[in-house]
Amino acid sequence: LIKKALCSEQAQAPITVKGWVRTRRDSKDFSFLEINDGSCLANIQCIADAGIPGYDDITKMTTGAAIGITGQLVESPGKGQKWEIHATSVELIGEAPADYPLQKKGHTPEFLRSIAHLRPRANLYGATFRMRSRMAQAVHRFFDERDFTYVHTPIITASDCEGAGEMFRVSTLDASKPEAQSYENDFFGKSAYLTVSGQLEGETFATALSNIYTFGPTFRAENSNTTRHASEFWMIEPEMAFCDLEGDMDLAEEFTKYLVDDALQNNEGDLDIFNRFVDKGLIERLQFVSEKPFQRVSYTEAVEILVKSGKKFDYPVEYGVNLQSEHERFLTEEHFQCPTTVYNYPKEVKPFYMRLNDDEKTVTAMDVLVPGIGEIVGGAQREERLDVLKANMAHHQLSEEDYWWYLDLRKYGTCPHAGFGAGFERLLMFVTGMKNIRDVIPFARTPGSCDF
Ligand code: 4AD
Ligand code: MG
C-alpha cells in the first residue's frame, strides 16, 4: 500500500504499488505520475522514463485509470514527501475513458452525492470514510477498555422504543399480493419493524451482564429533510446497571471526549484536510472540547436562559416545549459556547421508559448538545419501579401485554440503570466539521434518496 511505502524507513528495491492515477504530466523523455490507492490521503509520485516496459500504454494512464508501477523508492527532491518511485516498468490495469466523472477539479457535495459509487475516490470523502472506520474502532476500544460487553441487538423488532410511530414495516416480498394489500402481520403472521433503537433489548442484557453496549444500524421513518437526519443511521448505545443519571452524563461526556481525542491523535493526516477545506477552526475547536468540561444545565434553567435571551426563535420557547435545533444551537454556540448537557426534561416530551423525578413533572432524561449540530447524544436513567413504569405505560397508551418481557426486568431483581444513544454520524460530523449527514455515511438513505 502507498501508505506503507511513504513511511518506509529506507529505500527498497524493488517495490510495486497499485492504485489509480490522479494526474499525469508528460515530457519528451519521461512521464510524471501521481498515484493514490486510498490507503492514505497522500499520493505517491512516480517518474517513468520513456521506453520502459509498459510505457507504450502511457497515454491511456489518464485520471482514474488503475495502474501498477514497479520500481525503486528513492528520496524525493520535491518538498512535502520523503519518497518517490523511479519506475522500471508500468502496467495499465484498467482504463478510465475521458467521461470519467471525477476529473481533477472541485466538485460540489450535491454532485458527489449523485455519484455515491465513485465518491470515496474524492480526497475529502476518502478522508471521511477512513475517519469513520477509525472512529468505529475507537468506539469499541472505549467500551472494551471499560469492560463493557458488546451485545448485538436485533434489527427486526416488534417494539417501538421511542414511541414516536416512526418505524419502517418489514414485510415479505410476495408478488401475488395486490399493491393495496395491507401489510399488517406480514412478518410470517406477525407485525415487525426495523428497529429505531436497541435500547430496550440492551436493558435486558444490562440487567444480566451489568455494563453493555450495542453499536449498529437503526432506522427512522421520519420524513424530515434536514442536514442532521437520516432514515438509516448508526447508533452507539451503552446501558449500565446500578447507574443513575449523574453516572450516565459522566459517561456520555467521557465518551465524546475520547472520540475527539482519538480524532486529534490518530487521524494520520486526514484531519488536516477537514481543517483546510471544510472548517478552518476545526482542530482548535476539538482541542478546546477535549480540555474543557461540558456545561450542565437542567431543562428548566435552559428554558429560562432561552426566554431571557430575548432572541426571536422561529419556534417560540416556553416551559414544556421540546427543544428545537435552533434552541440547542443558541445554548451551545452563543450562550455557553461549549458542549452542553441538558437534563430533567418535562415528562410530556419524552418516551415512556424514563424515570420519573420526585417532582412528578420531570423525568431523568439528558441530551448532550454541541455547537454546529445540536443533539448528538440522548439518554436517561430508566424507570426501574414496576408500578411507576406501568402507570407511565398506561399514560403513553402502551399495552402491558406487548411489553411483558420488559416489565419482567422490573419484576425480577430490578435495579437502577441508565444508558444513552449517540448518533454515530452526528459524532462524525462533529469531529470532521462536515456539514451534512449525507456526506459522512457511505450510502445516505434519506427521504427520496435510495438509488442503489
Ligand atoms: O434521542 P434518540 O431518539 O434516543 C434513543 O433512541 C434512545 N433510545 C437512546 C438510548 O437511550 N439508548 O436518539 C439518540 C441519538 C440522537 O441523540 C442523535 O444523535 C441520533 O441518535 N439520531 C439520529 N441521527 C441521525 N438521523 C436521525 N434521524 C436520528 N435520530 C436520532
Ligand atoms: Mg433525542
For residue 13, give the CATH number of its domain: 2.40.50.140
76 and 171 in a single domain? The answer is no
CATH number of the domain that residue 361 is part of? 3.30.930.10
Ligand located closest to 201 CA: 1
Answer whether residue 294 is part of any domain.
yes
CA of 307 to the centre of ligand 2 (A): 22
Of 106, 100, 89, which Cα lies nearest the Cα of 64? 100
> Which residues surround ligand 1 with Cβ inside 6 Å?
161-162, 197, 199, 220, 222, 229-230, 233, 235, 237, 375-380, 419-421, 423, 425-426, 437
- Chain position carrying cell 440547542: 328
Pocket test for ligand 1, best of 426, 427, 430 (most atoms within 8 A of CB): 426
157 and 285 in a single domain? The answer is yes
pLDDT at 206 over 90: yes
Answer whether residue 6 is part of any domain.
yes
Pocket test for ligand 1, best of 153, 159, 225, 235 (most atoms within 8 A of CB): 235
85 and 201 in a single domain? The answer is no
126 and 275 in a single domain? The answer is yes
Buried b / exposed e over 108-118, threshold 16 CB at 10 Å, is ebeebbeebee
**Minimal-distance CA residue to ligand 1 atom 5:** 421
Instruction: Pick the atom of ligand 1 nearest to 376's CA.
Output: 19
Asked which of 27-36, 108-117, 181-190, 309-318 is least confident by mean pLDDT, the reply is 181-190
* Stretch 53-68: mean pLDDT: 97
pLDDT band at 224 (very low <50, low <70, confident <90, very high): confident
Q: What is the pLDDT of residues 330-375, one digit of tens each?
A: 999 999 999 999 999 999 999 999 999 999 999 999 999 999 999 9
58 and 204 in a single domain? The answer is no
Q: What is the pLDDT of residues 141-184, one digit of tens each?
A: 999 999 999 999 999 999 998 988 899 999 877 766 666 566 67
pLDDT at 115 over 90: yes
The two most distant CA atoms of the chain are separated, in Å, by: 86
CB 22 within 8 A of CB 40: no
ipTM: 0.99
Q: How much is the pLDDT for 11?
A: 83
* Separation CA 137–CA 124 (nearest Å): 20
Of 203, 198, 200, which Cα lies nearest the Cα of 241? 203
For residue 96 the three cell numbers come to 478510465
Q: How much is the pLDDT for 187?
A: 86
* Separation CA 281–CA 274 (nearest Å): 10
Answer whether residue 242 is part of any domain.
yes
Q: How much is the pLDDT for 13?
A: 75
- Taking all residues of the chain, what is their mean pLDDT, rounded to a whole number? 94
pTM for the predicted model, two decimal places: 0.95
89 and 183 in a single domain? The answer is no
Ligand located closest to 195 CA: 1
Of 373, 374, 353, which Cα lies nearest the Cα of 365? 353
What lies within 8 Å, CB to CB, of 343 at 6+ separation is: 245, 249, 296, 297, 298, 299, 364, 365, 366, 367
pLDDT at 200 over 60: yes
Structural domain for 204, as ranges:
119-439
CA of 377 to the centre of ligand 1 (A): 7
Answer whether residue 396 is part of any domain.
yes
149 and 88 in a single domain? The answer is no
**Minimal-distance CA residue to ligand 1 atom 31:** 423
* Helix H or strand E segment including 153: none
pLDDT band at 104 (very low <50, low <70, confident <90, very high): confident
CA of 235 to the centre of ligand 1 (A): 7
CA of 298 to the centre of ligand 1 (A): 20
CA of 422 to the centre of ligand 1 (A): 6
Ligand located closest to 164 CA: 1
CA of 348 to the centre of ligand 2 (A): 14
Answer whether residue 444 is part of any domain.
no
- Residue 226: CB atoms within 10 Å: 12
pLDDT band at 12 (very low <50, low <70, confident <90, very high): confident
CA of 375 to the centre of ligand 2 (A): 7
Q: What is the pLDDT of residues 269-294, one digit of tens each?
A: 999 999 999 999 999 999 999 999 99
Of 72, 2, 80, 84, which Cα lies nearest the Cα of 37? 2
Which of 79, 94, 109 delimits the end of a domain?
A: 94
pLDDT band at 7 (very low <50, low <70, confident <90, very high): confident
* Separation CA 369–CA 325 (nearest Å): 9
- Complete DSSP assignment for 72-136: EEEE-SSSS-SEEEEEEEEEEEE---TT-S--SS---HHHHHHTTTTGGGSHHHHHHHHHHHHHH
Looking only at the bridges linking them, the beta strands covering 192-194 and 156-157 are: antiparallel
Q: Tell which phi-psi region holds residue 360, choosing left (phi > 0), alpha (psi between -120 and 50) or beta.
A: left
Ligand located closest to 437 CA: 1
pLDDT at 112 over 90: yes
Answer whether residue 113 is part of any domain.
no
DSSP state of 333: I
Taking the C-alpha atoms of 172, 175, 179 and 182 in order, what is their torsion angle to the nearest 10 degrees?
A: -30
What lies within 8 Å, CB to CB, of 349 at 6+ separation is: 320, 321, 322
Answer whether residue 103 is part of any domain.
no
* Separation CA 445–CA 428 (nearest Å): 16
CA of 282 to the centre of ligand 2 (A): 25
Q: Helices 199-209 and 404-411, interaxial angle, to 10°? A: 30
146 and 54 in a single domain? The answer is no
* Stretch 35-46: mean pLDDT: 95
Bridge partners, residue 170, by sequence: 192
**Minimal-distance CA residue to ligand 1 atom 30:** 229
Answer whether residue 99 is part of any domain.
no
What lies within 8 Å, CB to CB, of 165 at 6+ separation is: none
* Separation CA 337–CA 122 (nearest Å): 33
Ligand located closest to 420 CA: 1
369 and 430 in a single domain? The answer is yes
- Complete DSSP assignment for 7-46: T-SS--SSEEEEEEEEEEEE-SSEEEEEEE-SSSS--EEE
286 against 80, higher pLDDT: 286
257 and 211 in a single domain? The answer is yes
CA of 230 to the centre of ligand 1 (A): 11
**Minimal-distance CA residue to ligand 1 atom 25:** 229
Of 380, 320, 375, which Cα lies nearest the Cα of 162? 380
Q: Tell which phi-psi region holds residue 107, choosing left (phi > 0), alpha (psi between -120 and 50) or beta.
A: beta
CB 354 within 8 A of CB 416: no
Q: How much is the pLDDT for 182?
A: 63
41 and 170 in a single domain? The answer is no
Q: What is the pLDDT of residues 309-338, one digit of tens each?
A: 999 999 999 999 999 999 999 999 999 999
Structural domain count, the chain = 2
335 and 381 in a single domain? The answer is yes
What lies within 8 Å, CB to CB, of 178 at 6+ separation is: none
